[in-house]
Structures are given as structure tokens and as C-alpha cells.
A and B are shown apart, each in its own frame.
Chain A
Amino acid sequence: GNSVTQMEGPVTLSEEAFLTINCTYTATGYPSLFWYVQYPGEGLQLLLKATKADDKGSNKGFEATYRKETTSFHLEKGSVQVSDSAVYFCALGYSGGGADGLTFGKGTHLIIQP
């Protein structure tokens, strides 16, 4: 079956540090890939997505590139801020075909210290 594996947290960084959160997946066919962010007490918000190989999703300074050869979708940001502290979820999904739910990783808790 499909699965998503993320690096274990919590990840603690200082403000302005470079961020990488690793995400790899196992899937059949050609899924789309997503990063969602969850702030304390809130629901998940879509951060970025990529729908085919070599696509780069980007938003709010975050980037991730869909690498089919390594089945990865690592999240990066050049300079993190305290306000980026949250839980980040990597997910995959398919266009139709009956598999309509997203498959999520366990989440990575990111803590940014001033």
C-alpha cells in the first residue's frame, strides 16, 4: 500500500537557520505530493504541492521538489522564523481512481527558538 515517511521530531532550530524536513514515499502510479502545516489548536493548512515529477512547489519561503527517482519530497526553507513553529505533514494523493483520501506521514514538530 501507499505510505509516507517523515523524519522524526521534534526538530529544534535557531531563528534564521536553514531548514530541511525529509519526506519519502512509497506509492504505485503517479501520486501528487503535498506539505501541510498545523499550528497549535488549528486544522491543517496546505503549504505547497507538486503534481508531477520534477515539479517544485513553493509558498511563504518554503520549497519542495518532487523527485521520482528518489521518491522524495523534502521540505526546505532558507531562513526560518519563530512563527514557523508548527507541525508539518507530508502527504500523497491520487487523481480519482477511487483512492480519494490523502495518505499522511506522522508529522514533524518544528520548534524555532529566537
Chain B
Amino acid sequence: NAGVMQNPRHLVRRRGQEARLRCSPMKGHSHVYWYRQLPEEGLKFMVYLQKENIIDESGMPKERFSAEFPKEGPSILRIQQVVRGDSAAYFCASSPGPLAATDTQYFGPGTRLTVL
């Protein structure tokens, strides 16, 4: 059973470009979470999605960031017009159920975004 997959593992963008980060959850998981890890910081929750629905986006910046989890295919975290402050590691996690506290979240290896 493959784990959570993220690609690319490393992404370099220039200021003003768009970044697209992909996450394929574990087989049988329909709940996806995105987290951002800034240098020397812990992970910060960004958004929680189920198939075709955004459930909680309370941690997502209001502008330039969007996320989707279509019926088919991976979840996408999209950052438009990137700035240097977006440089971070972005982690995706998935779980089989909707209860974050009682269901384990399984994390992917992360995408390290560098904005030049």
C-alpha cells in the first residue's frame, strides 16, 4: 500500500510565477490536509479537503492560495504570483475518516518550494 505521494519534491520558482503542488492520498483515504512548514517553525495547518469539497480553509492565506481535491486525480495546492515569503516545505497528509483527533493523519514527504 503506497503511502501519501507528493510531487514535485523540490520546486523552484521566480517571483510572480505560479506554483502547483500535487498530493495523492493513501489508497482508500478521501480526506486530505495541507500544512506549511516555514524555516525553523512547526507545521501550520492550511486547509482540509474531501473529494470535491473544501471543509476547512481557516489556515489558508486569503489571497493567491487555493486548493482543490477533484473527484479524479490528486489534490492540488496552487500558489499564484509567488513571493519569497512563500518559500517553505509544504506537506500533505491524508486520513481515512473525518476525525483528525482519532484518525491518524499520514504525511507525505513534502514539497520544498524555493522562490528566487
Q: Which residues of A contact B (CB under 8 A)?
A: 4, 31-32, 36, 41-46, 49, 51, 89, 91, 93-96, 98-107
Contacts and interface: CB of A to CB of B under 8 A. Distances in A.
Contacts of B63: none
Given A32-B101, A32-B102, A100-B98, A43 B4 contact: yes
Is chain B's binding surface mostly helix, strand, loop or mixed? loop
17 contacts: A4-B42, A42-B109, A46-B104, A46-B106, A49-B104, A89-B42, A91-B43, A94-B101, A95-B99, A100-B33, A100-B48, A101-B33, A101-B48, A104-B42, A104-B43, A104-B44, A106-B40
A105 to B, nearest CB: 5
B33 A31 contact: no
B91 interface: yes
A44 B100 contact: no
